[in-house]
Amino acid sequence: MNRLEKTGRGGAAKVRYLDGDFQVVVPGAHVTCAVTGDPIPLSELRYWSVDRQEAYIDARASLERELALAASKT
């Protein structure tokens, strides 16, 4: 039995992103990257925005989002 079978919830989780941590509101196996649309297993979630409540698959995606938002403000 794998991790997804144990929880019975292999779909998307709902998460509240906090400073330095996150809180699972609705159980699931992953969240979706706000930039790439790729699933991010909760065990691998390392990058998110507290202000925008978004997850990012990696540092590059996080930076890409920051740069895009900064450019849209100018």
Q: Which residues contact 74 (CB under 8 A, 6 or more apart)?
A: none
Report the domain count for the chain.
1
| DSSP conformation letters of 4-21 | HHHHS--SB-EEEEETTE
Does residue 19 carry a pLDDT above 60? yes
Predicted pLDDT of residue 9: 66
> From residue 67, how far is each of 18, 56, 63, 70 by CA, in Å?
22, 14, 6, 5
Per-residue pLDDT band for 8 (boundaries 50, 70, 90) equals very low
Rounded Cα distance, 30 and 74, in Å: 34
pLDDT 10s digits, 56-72: 999 999 999 999 999 99
Task: Return the DSSP state at 29.
Answer: S
Predicted pLDDT of residue 74: 80
pLDDT 10s digits, 26-40: 999 999 999 999 999
Please give the residue range of the domain that contains residue 51. Answer: 3-73
pTM of the predicted protein model = 0.84
